[in-house]
Chains A and B, each alone.
Chain A
């Protein structure tokens, strides 16, 4: 699973998936597939089987998970707030299992009412180093010819119709 942050003040958002034999190649594929255009300041890749998801309906039926104090680890918490939206980061919790992490998230982020919760251990994530952000993402910023605004075809067509020639 690929997550992308578009700016320093933006949340990290689920962007799609890539196939790769390991995290390092997943990162390279993710950059080529998802960041051919700006903007990105951070890219994360997480193995799909490390992500635990629960819908509101499933939560209603779920057994309470034991919050063992021993062996707590950091979990990232993501949530999907509408059918159309991408899953986005809401924060981080400490928990002993993915199930416990979802239940901790419900308490910690009680003001949020998502359709889905996604949690995964922080240790499962490969992120680009911040020093890599410039070489990884800035090249796309200068390739302005990839932007449709570079091609003034509407103005050109109007000139052809009005004057029978280009200006």
Chain B
């Protein structure tokens, strides 16, 4: 459908062909679409879906690492982890604001998350069982997120793209502190080396799944690429990630959990074995190792904050009446 010409698409989406053509011409010229501008309903819908899922991912993403703040092995690592988790909270805020510029309300987005109707990145439904998992999350998970977000920093919707520029800068700190941790432990004591190997073994495949289904099974990709929301496909981004990470992890002496992994001389790409998509869909549908725990923690945090919201609102009313 989305390779078709603009008139056919206007009919299918029930949009004014001239307005749609003007809109697509703006995107082709590299202009940013801003909140007050005309946009197809489908563009708005797709952006709200993506940005709110992204915001939820940042917020839920605080939980796996947040649990380790009190157990960090040094003051330096504790400060780093605190700052990182605080950043994720800030990223959630930037993104909820970006979605609000499209007419979504904060309340409906939060309710969708707390009611279990909204999706967030499947990666956060895995447990962090050892300290080294924080390094693996930084280097692998945040590294994967940066590839996706660097692409989104160029997306056609102004508020989303500007939020991404800021987020990418901060995520580079997240990635590098994780990479530093993994490199150091990989050259450390036998116990540290075993801990790092175990962490990478558990996080490798779930990280590759973060990029989403193969292009052939990715229903939204066509329209997202046509309208400049995404400029690269899931498989292209995943291949970039694999090519970057495999040589570095191997240089650390880490063995990846994939007997089929090999270098393809012809294309210059590292090839992995088949991804277990049954696992991906199971986690996405709520049956991952930690889905229930994550949602329970989110609901508890929201309920625990009720008195703060109530007090802030009452204080504002009191001041207005004075």
Residues of A within 8 A of B (CB): 16-22, 25, 29, 32-34, 36-37, 83-84, 86, 143, 145-148, 150-153, 156-157, 160-161, 165-166
Contacts and interface: CB of A to CB of B under 8 A. Distances in A.
Given A83-B32, A84-B32, A86-B162, A156 B180 contact: yes
B31 A36 contact: no
The 6 nearest A-B residue pairs measured at CB: A21-B316, A151-B176, A22-B316, A148-B172, A83-B32, A153-B179
A53 to B, nearest CB: 8
A29 B316 CA distance: 15
A143 B172 CA distance: 16
Given A86-B162, A153-B183, A160-B251, A148 B90 contact: no
A32 B87 CA distance: 9
The interface residues of chain B, by DSSP majority, are classed as: helix
Given A33-B94, A143-B79, A22 B315 contact: yes
Interface-centre pick from B76, B90, B163 (highest chain A CB count, 10 A) = B90
Contacts of A147: 173
A29 B308 CA distance: 13
Interface in B81-139: 83, 86-87, 90, 93-94, 97, 100, 106
A17 B173 contact: no
B90 A32 contact: yes
A145 B34 CA distance: 35
Interface string B235-254: 00000000000001001100
Contacts of B162: 86
Contacts of A17: 97, 100
A160 B76 CA distance: 24
A16 B90 CA distance: 12
Contact of A156 (B32, B87, B183, B320): B183
A150 B173 CA distance: 8
Contact of A21 (B80, B172, B315): B315
B17 interface: no
B176 A165 contact: no
A135 B32 CA distance: 37
A157 B315 CA distance: 54
A146 B100 CA distance: 28
Given A20-B312, A151-B177, A157-B248, 20 more contacts: A18-B93, A21-B317, A22-B319, A22-B320, A25-B312, A25-B316, A37-B170, A83-B32, A84-B32, A146-B87, A146-B170, A148-B176, A150-B176, A151-B173, A151-B180, A153-B176, A153-B180, A156-B180, A157-B251, A160-B183
Contacts of B34: 83
B301 to A, nearest CB: 16
Contact of B90 (A36, A86, A161): A36
25 contacts: A16-B163, A18-B97, A20-B312, A21-B315, A21-B317, A22-B316, A22-B320, A25-B316, A29-B93, A32-B90, A36-B86, A37-B170, A83-B32, A84-B32, A86-B162, A145-B83, A150-B176, A151-B176, A151-B177, A151-B180, A153-B180, A157-B251, A160-B187, A160-B251, A165-B187
B158 interface: yes
Nearest to B181: A151
Contacts of A21: 312-313, 315-317
A146 B97 CA distance: 23
A112 to B, nearest CB: 19
Interface string B155-184: 000100011000001101101110110011
A25 B308 CA distance: 12
A166 B187 contact: yes
